[in-house]
Amino acid sequence: MMRFPLPPVVGFFITQLVDHNTSITSAKIKVNGVPLHYKQTGQGDHAVLLLPGMLGSSQTDFGPQLKSMNKQLFTIVAWDPRGYGHSIPPARDFPPDFFERDARDAVDLMQALKFKNFSMLGWSDGGITALIAAAKYPTLIHKLVVWGANAVVTQEDLKLYNAIRDVSKWSEKIRKQMEEMYGHEYFAKTCEAWVDGISQFADKPDGNICQHLLPHIKCPTFIIHGGKDPLVPQFHAEYLHKHIKESRLLLMPEGKHNLHLRFAEEFNRLVEDFLQ
């Protein structure tokens, strides 16, 4: 088994706000030199980190999970990766190792919050980040759930990514939500930068993002895929299932990319059953 050392963490609280209607705490803590924003709720012994997708945040991506997942069984943390949500500054960038950087930040955030072990729920880019974290820090990750994630970038994927490069072509509902969070200019520029950032993996052998790490994932893994996902074709979920030992794969025939929002009640039930 490959062993990867944990980098040092410097952390301290910067702000803390509590929504007393939902018992959700919003706070920032400095991790690896960056003030990272997160939301936290629940009092359970089982800590769970929620990892958002591209341009996503705790606010935009995980409302039904923060509100409705079992707070007696779980302590739920949803984070904003650097450059996303309320973890700005810094501005988001996409160097060749941006997924590894996010994985390190995510793990170090949970360590700074004093969670020795935890499970991860990763959506889309957050799923890729979670796969990398589970492989590189196997002693820390209890269980793993991913959906809308991929380990490689194919030529077919490049066509799908370039189709969303122009944010004016996004649905009005999602575009409005993103513009309220970021403003139009930051939203548009970051989306273009993301397409360029994710496309760089297509130049690697087999389009590799993290396929070489999949055999090193030892924790129980649950892969969920929406049968109508327009951004991540089903073969990606099947590839993950094939290469992650003893993983489970569930297809939600009517699910799209945001199946955890569209079918939140069913999704939460499935995930809670798996985590227990």
The catalytic residues are 124, 229, 257
Nearest to 35 by CA among 6, 10, 7: 10
**CA 163/CA 74 separation, integer angstroms:** 38
Sign for the CA dihedral angle at 143, 73, 121, 27 comes to negative
Give the 3-state DSSP-derived string for 221-253, with helices as H, strands as E and coil as C: EEEEEECCCCCCCHHHHHHHHHHCCCCEEEEEC
Measured in whole angstroms, how far is the alpha carbon of residue 209 from the centre of its chain? 15
**CA 46/CA 84 separation, integer angstroms:** 26
